[in-house]
């Protein structure tokens, strides 16, 4: 595992009401959600980055109001045209 060090002002922890470990955990989840939303990573990779199970990642997506489905409008239209 690789460690990444980020310097942050102490005030960010009190503003978010979390300790540094909680902040790191939330930041990993937030980054994974955003990258998933942008279509850069899969659910499995998002869960790995976030450090949670795939099921927990899907729940985090829902909590963030991000669809767990990575379909474009065209892909969805194509999928639906195959349904009889």
pLDDT confidence of 16, banded at 50, 70, 90? Answer: confident
The verdict on residue 31 lying in a domain is yes
The verdict on residue 26 lying in a domain is yes
pTM recorded for the entire structure: 0.81
Higher-confidence residue of 70 and 42: namely 42
The verdict on residue 35 lying in a domain is yes
Domain range for residue 66?
17-81
Please list, in sequence order, all residues whose beta carbon lies within 8 angstroms of the beta carbon of residue 36, skipping any fewer than 6 positions away: 42, 43, 46, 57, 61, 66, 70
The verdict on residue 11 lying in a domain is no
Domain count, the chain: 1
């Amino acid at each position: 595992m690789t460690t990444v060090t980020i310097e942050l002002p102490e005030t960010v922890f009190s503003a978010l009401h979390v300790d540094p470990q909680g902040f790191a955990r939330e930041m990993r989840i937030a980054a994974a959600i955003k990258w998933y939303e942008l279509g850069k990573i899969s659910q499995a990779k998002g869960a790995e980055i976030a450090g949670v199970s795939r099921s927990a990642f899907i729940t985090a997506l829902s909590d963030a109001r991000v669809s767990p489905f990575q379909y474009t409008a065209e892909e969805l239209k194509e999928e639906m045209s195959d349904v009889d």
